[in-house]
Amino acid sequence: MEKVFDSVLKTIGKTPMVRLDRLKAAWKLEGTLLAKLENLNPGSSKKDRIALRMIEEAESSGELEPGQPVVELTSGNTGTGLAIVCAVKGYPFIAVMSKGNSMERARMMRALGAEVILVDQAVGSPPGQVSGQDLDLVEERTQKIVQELGAFRADQFRLEGNIRAHEYGTGEEIWEQTEGCLDGFVDFVGTGGSFAGCSKALKKHNPEIRCYLLEPTSCPWLAKREVTNPNHRIQGGGYSRDLPFVDPSLVTEYLTVTDEEAIEGARALAQHEGIFGGFSTGAHVSAAARLLEGQEKGSTLVFLVCDSGLKYVSTDLYL
């Protein structure tokens, strides 16, 4: 067993990996699916990693001073990670979030000591479906708050600590846990940080590893295909916007996934493997399964369980 840690921050990362043999059998797949349980981080998501890295790098550079407020827009997961880090380190934290995201996340951030500011959705945006327009409104409010308070902006879409957290953390852990025996990595795009970081780490070890980037079927923006509907139910990504972290040279292929496929994947993962993930995790399951049924038949594919299904109990992801 590990020693007793001096704070919960020391428990971030080094998450376990599980082979999904029961799901593979149920869906009659040929190959191996490996799930890295990022939902077991203290904030129940992969975003704890980037929250810690961004804050520590800002402390080291002097951009973040003792007692200075920290502000960031969030769909809830990065905000939860920042709330944890700021609570331990003594920074006031303000999370700015669209009302289109599940309210469990706002309650969790408040419980962790954060101030949460909820922003109305754009006209015409359905509840529970956050679009790029919704995110633009959140960004506008976030910038105003940063200026008014002289706060540090923990900008997850621009700070390189986002990529480094996954390149030197998550990606290296995947390589070590699989002992290099993997063929592909599948990731739904939010900020692009986990895709870029993990892909860089894995390709550094083996350039032949294939890295698949997922977007919602209705808005394959990065794939440069037609956006038919910017609204979708896969919270935390698919915002129909350019992402500076995503280097096209890392992308083996752009894939899409529907809301229904993401829901089916999440429910199957819970029912067959006892792993309780959210929408984006379900997207990973469905896309990886589709690959094993086709061009990746017989391969070993890895994906992240991005967060916990407990953050979506107010939605119809699980009925």
279-311 pLDDT, tens digit each: 999 999 999 999 999 999 999 999 999 999 999
The predicted-structure confidence for 236-261, as pLDDT tens digits, reads as follows 899 999 999 999 999 999 999 999 99
pLDDT tier for residue 33 given thresholds of 50, 70 and 90: very high
Instruction: Say whether 280 is catalytic.
Output: yes
Q: What is the CATH number of the domain that holds 65?
A: 3.40.50.1100
Q: Is residue 158 part of a domain?
A: no
Mean pLDDT computed over every residue of the chain: 96
Q: Which of 24, 36, 46, 47 is catalytic?
A: 47
Alpha-carbon separation of residue 137 from 66, 132, 186 (angstroms):
29, 9, 30
Q: 72-76, 105-109, 298-302 — which one is most confidently predicted on average?
A: 298-302
Which of residues 102, 129, 153 is at a domain's end?
153
Whether residue 126 is predicted with pLDDT greater than 90 in this model: the reply is no
Establish if 149 belongs to a structural domain: yes
Q: What is the pTM of this model?
A: 0.96
Q: What is the mean predicted confidence (pLDDT) over 134-143?
A: 95
- Distance from C-alpha of 258 to C-alpha of 262, rounded to nearest angstrom: 6
Residue 109 identity:
M
Going from the C-alpha of 29 to that of each of 11, 23, 134, the distances in angstroms are 34, 8, 38
> 230 and 215 in one domain?
yes
144 is catalytic: no
Which domain covers residue 146, as residue numbers? Answer: 47-153
Domain shared by 104 and 196, yes or no: no
Q: Pick the catalytic residue: 280, 286, 308, 311?
A: 280
What pLDDT is recorded for position 317?
94
Q: Is residue 246 part of a domain?
A: yes
Structural domains in the chain (count): 2
215: which residues sit within 8 A by CB, 6+ positions away?
Answer: 188, 189, 221, 222, 223, 237, 238, 254, 255, 256, 257
Domain annotation covers residue 38: yes
Q: Are 89 and 213 members of one domain?
A: no
Task: Give the span between the Cα atoms of 255 and 216, in whole angstroms.
Answer: 8
- pLDDT over 90 at 66, yes or no: yes
* Last residue in a domain, options 129, 153, 177: 153
Give yes or no: residues 33 and 170 share one domain: yes
